[in-house]
């Protein structure tokens, strides 16, 4: 079985976001970039499947992105971290991920003739939270797509998946090949051990050029949210004061 794990290179969750002077891009200087947290779930699940069948499962990790100018902004370093979980090889498509369609087109072009049985994605990236790329890849490759999965089991070429729905859980069966986006619950996050880190240094990491694709979205400007205004703090025991304040503002 061949698995493709697609990951995003995103700012650390503790980063204080700032933009360039023209507002068109993130100010990357001084920012530490990490593997998108939702992608850690699919990497961990792929590692589990690899451990169960070391000779029968091959896992490729892919990211669309250019290496930054600092060690904390290295896509290759994050790909190596993914490989340290025991995965087989990595691919970096050397292009800025300018919009979801551009990224999906790059991934689909790479995957279309590789015979992957599973294409794994986190449900969204934490920078733009679009949840668009996995579905677009499935459409471009004409493959079935299951979103927000919390578990997956493979048996005789069929995937059995679970996802949470309002009031319960939904169990879905799908033939392979399949595109899957995952949320928390698919697997427990893993921390690479020393042996995995050392082995990852010698595993293949291929850098390939992008295909020509015109982005569908043009960024005009990013702006931070307005600063918080003045507020009044009311003691939780003073319910009548709270009610009166809300009434004065016309909220009740």
Q: What is the pLDDT of residues 64-109, one digit of tens each?
A: 999 988 889 999 999 999 999 999 999 999 999 989 999 999 999 9
pLDDT-based confidence at 129, cuts 50/70/90? confident
**Closest of 188, 182, 211 to residue 6, by C-alpha:** 182
Tokens linked to 84 = 């340290």
CA distance 136 to 145: 9
Residue 40 has pLDDT above 90, yes or no: yes
Per-residue pLDDT of 50-65, as tens digits, reads 999 999 999 999 999 9
**Quick one: pLDDT at residue 16?**
85
Asked whether the beta carbons of 15 and 210 are under 8 A apart, the reply is: no
**Quick one: pLDDT at residue 196?**
92
Tokens linked to 43 = 């990497």
CATH 3.90.1150.10 fits 2-225, yes or no: no
CA distance 142 to 120: 15
pLDDT-based confidence at 18, cuts 50/70/90? confident
Asked whether the beta carbons of 38 and 126 are under 8 A apart, the reply is: yes
CA distance 240 to 248: 12
Q: What is the CA radius of gyration of the chain?
A: 21
State the alpha helices, DSSP H only, in 53-99: 75-83
pLDDT-based confidence at 162, cuts 50/70/90? very high
**Closest of 153, 188, 190, 191 to residue 49, by C-alpha:** 153
**Quick one: pLDDT at residue 173?**
94
**Quick one: pLDDT at residue 159?**
94
């Amino acid at each position: 079985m061949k698995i493709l794990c697609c990951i995003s290179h995103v700012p650390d969750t503790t980063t204080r976001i700032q933009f360039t002077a023209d507002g068109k891009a993130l100010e990357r200087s001084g920012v530490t970039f990490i593997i998108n947290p939702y992608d850690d779930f699919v990497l961990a699940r792929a590692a589990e499947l690899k451990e169960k069948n070391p000779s029968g499962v091959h896992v490729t990790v892919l990211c669309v992105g250019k290496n930054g100018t600092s060690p904390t902004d290295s896509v290759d370093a994050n790909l190596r971290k993914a490989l340290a979980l025991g995965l087989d090889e990595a691919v970096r498509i050397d292009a800025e991920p300018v919009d979801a369609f551009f990224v999906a087109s790059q991934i689909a072009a790479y995957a279309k003739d590789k015979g992957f049985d599973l294409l794994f994605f986190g449900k969204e990236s934490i920078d733009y939270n679009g949840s668009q790329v996995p579905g677009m890849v499935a459409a471009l490759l004409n493959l079935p797509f299951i979103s927000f999965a919390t578990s997956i089991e493979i048996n005789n070429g069929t995937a059995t998946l679970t996802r949470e729905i309002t009031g319960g859980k939904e169990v879905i069966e799908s033939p392979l090949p399949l595109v899957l986006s995952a949320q928390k619950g698919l697997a427990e996050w893993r921390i690479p051990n020393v042996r995995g880190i050392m082995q990852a240094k010698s595993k293949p990491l291929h850098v390939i050029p992008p295909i020509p694709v015109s982005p569908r979205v043009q960024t005009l400007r990013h702006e931070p949210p307005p600063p918080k205004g003045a507020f009044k703090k009311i003691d939780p025991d003073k319910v009548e004061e709270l009610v009166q304040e809300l009434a004065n503002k016309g909220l009740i």
